[in-house]
Amino acid sequence: MRLLIGLFMGFVTLWGIDGYNGKSLIVTLPSPSGIISMNDLNISVLSHPYDRTKGIVILPIDYYTPSGEVNLTWVSPGKIIPLSVNVLNAPYPTETLSVDPEKVSPPPEMLERIATEKAQAEAIYGHFTPIRYWNSPFIKPLDTFITSEYGSARTYNGSLKSYHGGVDFRARTPIPILAANDGIVVLAQERYYSGGTIIIDHGEGLYTCYFHLSRFDVNVGDYVKQAQPIALSGASGRITGPHLHFGMMVHGIQADPLDLISQIDNLFPKESDEPLTLR
Ligand SMILES: [Zn+2]
Question: Which residue segments constitute the domains of the chain, with CATH numbers given?
Answer: 4-90 (2.60.40.1590), 94-265 (2.70.70.10)
For ligand 1, the distance from its centroid to the CA atom of residue 168, given in whole angstroms, is 5
Question: What predicted TM-score, i.e. pTM, was given to this entire model?
Answer: 0.90
Predicted confidence at residue 270, as pLDDT, reads 83
What is the 3-class SS of 174-203, one letter each residue?
A: CCEEECCCCEEEEEEEEECCCEEEEEEEEE
For ligand 1, the distance from its centroid to the CA atom of residue 209, given in whole angstroms, is 11
For ligand 1, the distance from its centroid to the CA atom of residue 248, given in whole angstroms, is 12
SS3 115: helix
For ligand 1, the distance from its centroid to the CA atom of residue 120, given in whole angstroms, is 20
pLDDT tens for 220-242 read 999 999 999 999 999 998 888 89
For ligand 1, the distance from its centroid to the CA atom of residue 107, given in whole angstroms, is 22
- Within 8 A by CB and 6+ apart from 111, the residues are none
For ligand 1, the distance from its centroid to the CA atom of residue 246, given in whole angstroms, is 7
SS3 152: coil
Residue 40: pLDDT band by 50, 70, 90 thresholds?
confident
Alpha carbon distances (Å) from 2 to 15, 27, 84: 9, 10, 13
C-alpha span between 57 and 2 (Å, rounded): 15
pLDDT tens for 11-29 read 445 556 899 999 999 999 9
